[in-house]
Chain A
Amino acid sequence: MADRDTTGEGATPDAGGASAEDTAPRESWQIGASHRKVDAMERMRGVTRYTDDLKLPGLLHCKIKRSPHAHANIVSMDTSKAMAMEGVFAVVTGKDFPIPYGVIPWTPDENALCVEKVCHVGDGVAAVAAADEDTANAAIDLIEVEYEVLPAYYDPQDALAEDAVSINPWSRKGNNLSKDVVLEFGDPDAAIEGADLVVRGDYHFEGTTHAAIEPHCAVASVEPGSGVLTVWSATQVSHYLHRELAKVLEVPAHRIRVIQPPLGGAFGGKSEPFDLEFCVAKLSMMTGRPVKCLYTREEVFYSHRGRHPMKMSYETGFSKDGKITGVASRTFLDGGAYSSFGLVTTYYSGQLLCAPYDFPAYRFHSTRAYTNKPACGPKRGHGSVQPRFAMEIQLDKAAEQLGLDPIDLRRRNHIGSDRATINGLMVGSNGFLDCLGSVERRSGWVTRRPALGYGRGLGIAGSTYISGTNYPIYPNEMPQAAVQICLDRSGRARVFSGANDIGQGSNTMLAVITSEELGLPLEDIRVLSADSDLCPVDLGAYSSRITLMVGNACLDAAKKLRRKVCGAVAKRWEVPRKRVTLAGRRAIDIEDPERNVPLAEAFQWAEADHGLLGETGSYNTPKDRHGSYRGGTIGASPAYSFTAHLAEVDVDDETGVVSVERIWCAHDCGRALSRKIVEGQIEGSSYMGFGEAIMEEHLVDGAHSGVHAGPNLLDYRIPTSVDTPDIEAIIVEAPDAQGPYGAKEAGEGPLHSSIPAIANAIYDAVGVRLDRLPFSPPRVLAAIEERKAREASGELAPHKGNPGDEKRSA
């Protein structure tokens, strides 16, 4: 495969059966350019139909009745009054969905609606289908539920107490333990004991949520006669939804069609089935009418699956010259009421920390507990954003204590490329040093950092992330991604892919690859995605897998077609196939560019030679890139991205208000297939991390019956345009042999280091360590005042010669 070989790393899976002429290097005409996205203009014209925009005749509206209690047994439920109401067509309860499900097959621990007990405020207990929303709302008010209230737990360690009442009805472990992972590599205790410097710290990452602007929505319809059930859902994992629908509804998967309409953002918040999809499906099957459920914003907060709150204790050993000698961590994860992806999260909280720094000894012990809160799950940068916060502050503390430049300290620990991490994950390409160098230069770190006065600071952090997981969520030997491409004799291509474009631009990525290989401009390519009747299976938009995996599958199919088309042209020109290339809507003789034909004609020649032009492409992951221990496959990825963040902050030492002035984010994405899209992912990730650092906090109020602290977009504040710093996205390219044209992920990695970079910049500005998120003004001010008291007592020297209280307000 030509472009892989340009990386000079040789060995590639021979997915496409590439022949010699395919491997000859050639100039890209699309890869690395900026593109108008294939589906953006229709969104901007307001004609794209998202799920809530679907119109079906006879549509009924579904509303879900939810628990007002954080923890209670359901003693009885009476739906008769609701059922008798005019305009109500059907009512379902937990008894209609006795089969439990879970996105992770090993932890099926939730029902579509609660059966015997409720586990958090907002847990669904019943649903109605009615002629309109007002009637549906009135009907759920008529459903009478008698509860027996149980003690509720809002802290993982409280929930793990021996005498705690068990929360999750399907939990088999007891004591509210959801998952416990201890993995040890080398001898971390000895490494830390023998270190020149040991840094210890406790960190608390409060949970955050995705807050995609589009609320969850699902529509279901049953075809009379065939009985085929169609479910349209604002999901980012059509295939897992498909599987769980089949399981819970006891309908064979081939009689279910799952369609993901264009999606209004997801960020991990739509990456598993939710109650609404099961409810609309069942209610449609019962009534024979199409049924829709659109969550209110409040319900979006109850569905959650956001970032786990984590309490983390870290010990990191260093040698005098700043090399990490060992890392040991103890982490409690607050899982909420259900497992969600929690098994994976628990592993990720330790497994994904072993790059970009090299260290010879490591132990992590992570314990996930059930609590009476909305379930936590995957949010952009799943599982590793929280420990990255701890890790990078530990490094910053060490740099200070050892008198080293924090960037220099990170360079000294660089893990490099083509080698295994301490926990056995195989790192391929690695552009981390370039990332560090880029942000160092662009920010003026070397000269500006020492010159910035009290209240102003620069902070650095680094990180890594996976480009998909080597193993799918359910074990199977089928490809992880597949794409089908058909060429039309008019000179067009149709690309069929199961991948979920959630706004990240994956449809455009497929068009770019198809364009690169087949010479068609993007507007001649139609990408049809995420319809289970039309498209091959794809596993979905999670773990930053699509560019690498679906991109490779697409490349495979496109190369097969390219060979057929070039071959047909070469035959007619009586030249070797390698002399023919496809670009700019033409087939061209490389040695005599004057000789060329329109692609449509070339396609017609190829169709005459081969019959209808359609090819499939598949991709499967390498299975030899992880350690051979239990859990060693979790965190294993074909390729790893790298990021360096540098933040500049202004801290008001009288109010504790932190203004993030500017963020430089350099991200090694392997190869940018479409530059502006990659920049957009870097900017969006930086923004999201900034919001988590400064203002976001997904809180459940244990002192007030376990209500959410404010389940709406006024109380859960996400930054506006006037709050957001200028973000400078810097693309670093260290092509990876595993990725299409060398590409790795860009959608999640750039979030990780944003938060510790801001924390470290605050330290540089005012000399206080923020070990708890978010860095809200009261918290920052309290830390500043504590430091000032210690300065006043002579315990500490004034930070950066802080002249005192009155200076900045003068």
Chain B
Amino acid sequence: MAQPRLLQLRINGASHHVAAPSHWTLLEVLRYELDLIGTKQGCDKGDCGACTVQVDGHPVLSCLTLACQAQGRAVQTVEGLGFSSPSGCHPLQDAFDRYDAAQCGFCTPGILMSAHAMIERLRRPVTRDEAKEGIAGNLCRCTGYTKIIDAIVDASERVFGEAGAATASGEAVTHG
């Protein structure tokens, strides 16, 4: 086994010290060392996007990011997405829930990270085409993307639209 190196990583705002061999990817460190299992592994090599996390706000493939390359950067995973909301749930997650945009949910964390980076970058309601482009690196095998796109557009309107965050969630859907 290769000599582990001590890494200092900033993940979801918290500092983590972890020892990992040089050839470990960020994905492996997140999942198997830090137990941040929300980031998924689907294809081994950057073809599916299930492992998408944000590094300094940019969505990237954690399976093709060496863990040591993330040092000194701000890493955000799906586990941290709801941290800014009192409900513990980001408006994107709420919209995905209302639209049933997650079927098996395995690609969902990665898609949320891509979608979140996009709406934070544009900071306005996005079009359906923009939503499609924003998640064009994330494969979903269940949904046909339809409800995912619905949910992203809806969330962007709620966060950045004129009604803004004042709109309550879930009116059209039986919550219970």
Give the B-binding residues of A (Cβ under 8 A).
Answer: 30, 33-37, 40-41, 43-50, 52-53, 55, 132, 134-135, 210-215, 262-267, 294, 296-298, 502-505, 515, 520-524, 585, 676-677, 679-680, 683-684, 686-688, 690, 712-714, 718, 720-722, 724, 726-727, 729
Complex interface: chain A residues within 8 A of B175 (CB) = 36, 521-523
**Cross-chain contact A37 with B100 (CB below 8 angstroms):** yes
Q: Nearest chain B CB to A27's CB is how many angstroms away?
A: 14
**Cross-chain contact A40 with B96 (CB below 8 angstroms):** yes
Known: A46-B78, A213-B141. A721 touches B135 (CB 8 A): yes
**Quick one: closest B residue to A675, CB to CB?**
B100
Stretch at the interface among B41-49, B54-62, B157-165: B41-49
Q: Nearest chain B CB to A777's CB is how many angstroms away?
A: 20
Known: A297-B43, A680-B142. A36 touches B78 (CB 8 A): no
Q: Nearest chain B CB to A30's CB is how many angstroms away?
A: 7
Question: 28 A-B residue contacts at CB 8 Å?
Answer: A34-B174, A35-B100, A36-B100, A37-B102, A41-B93, A43-B108, A44-B105, A50-B37, A52-B41, A212-B141, A213-B104, A213-B107, A214-B42, A215-B41, A297-B43, A297-B44, A298-B44, A520-B176, A521-B174, A676-B100, A679-B147, A683-B143, A713-B48, A720-B137, A720-B138, A722-B136, A727-B144, A727-B146
A34-B172, A722-B132 provided; 14 other pairs, C-beta below 8 A? A36-B175, A52-B31, A52-B41, A262-B105, A263-B104, A264-B105, A297-B45, A503-B103, A520-B176, A523-B176, A684-B141, A720-B136, A724-B144, A726-B146
Complex interface: chain B residues within 8 A of A43 (CB) = 102, 104-105, 108
- Complex Cα distance, B47 from A718, in Å, reads 10
**Cross-chain contact A40 with B174 (CB below 8 angstroms):** no
Complex interface: chain B residues within 8 A of A55 (CB) = 35
B140-157 Cβ-contact flags toward A at 8 Å (1 or 0): 111111111100000000
**Quick one: closest B residue to A36, CB to CB?**
B97
Complex interface: chain B residues within 8 A of A262 (CB) = 104-105
Is the CB of B66 closer than 8 A to any CB of chain A?
A: no
Q: Nearest chain A CB to B86's CB is how many angstroms away?
A: 15
- Complex Cα distance, B76 from A7, in Å, reads 52
- Complex Cα distance, B109 from A54, in Å, reads 18
**Cross-chain contact B100 with A677 (CB below 8 angstroms):** yes
> A683 contacts which of B40, B104, B146 (Cβ < 8 Å)?
B146
Q: Nearest chain A CB to B75's CB is how many angstroms away?
A: 14
- Complex Cα distance, B102 from A680, in Å, reads 9
**Quick one: closest B residue to A665, CB to CB?**
B144
- Complex Cα distance, B142 from A299, in Å, reads 21
Instruction: Tell which of B31, B79, B93 has the most Cβ of chain A within 10 Å.
Output: B93
> B97 contacts which of A40, A294, A296 (Cβ < 8 Å)?
A40
The 3 A-B pairs of least Cβ separation, nearest first, read A46-B38, A521-B176, A503-B104
Complex interface: chain A residues within 8 A of B170 (CB) = 36
Known: A44-B108, A46-B39, A727-B146. A34 touches B141 (CB 8 A): no
Instruction: Tell which of A215, A585, A688, A690 has the most Cβ of chain B within 10 Å.
Output: A215
Q: When A and B form their complex, what is the total count of cross-chain residue pairs whose Cβ atoms lie within 8 Å? A: 207
Known: A46-B39, A262-B105, A503-B104. A213 touches B144 (CB 8 A): no
> A47 contacts which of B38, B42, B50 (Cβ < 8 Å)?
B38
**Cross-chain contact B106 with A214 (CB below 8 angstroms):** yes
> B100 contacts which of A40, A53, A132, A263 (Cβ < 8 Å)?
A40
Complex interface: chain A residues within 8 A of B41 (CB) = 52, 215, 294
**Cross-chain contact B144 with A684 (CB below 8 angstroms):** yes
Q: Which chain B residues (76-94) contact chain A, with CB distance < 8 Å?
A: 77-79, 81-82, 88-89, 93
Complex interface: chain B residues within 8 A of A294 (CB) = 41
Q: Nearest chain B CB to A682's CB is how many angstroms away?
A: 9
Complex interface: chain B residues within 8 A of A690 (CB) = 144
- Complex Cα distance, B88 from A215, in Å, reads 29
- Complex Cα distance, B97 from A655, in Å, reads 41
Q: Nearest chain A CB to B138's CB is how many angstroms away?
A: 7
**Cross-chain contact A676 with B99 (CB below 8 angstroms):** yes
Q: Nearest chain B CB to A561's CB is how many angstroms away?
A: 18
Q: Nearest chain A CB to B151's CB is how many angstroms away?
A: 10
Known: A212-B141, A727-B144. A49 touches B37 (CB 8 A): yes
Instruction: Tell which of A35, A135, A677 has the most Cβ of chain B within 10 Å.
Output: A35
Is the CB of B168 closer than 8 A to any CB of chain A?
A: no
Instruction: Tell which of B41, B81, B100, B175 has the most Cβ of chain A within 10 Å.
Output: B100
- Complex Cα distance, B102 from A531, in Å, reads 23
- Complex Cα distance, B82 from A339, in Å, reads 47
Complex interface: chain A residues within 8 A of B149 (CB) = 721
- Complex Cα distance, B106 from A48, in Å, reads 10
B90-124 Cβ-contact flags toward A at 8 Å (1 or 0): 00010011111011111111001000000000000
Instruction: Tell which of A43, A135, A215 has the most Cβ of chain B within 10 Å.
Output: A43
**Cross-chain contact B93 with A44 (CB below 8 angstroms):** yes
**Cross-chain contact B106 with A680 (CB below 8 angstroms):** no
Q: Nearest chain B CB to A797's CB is how many angstroms away?
A: 37
- Complex Cα distance, B96 from A45, in Å, reads 11
**Cross-chain contact A45 with B89 (CB below 8 angstroms):** yes
**Cross-chain contact B103 with A505 (CB below 8 angstroms):** yes
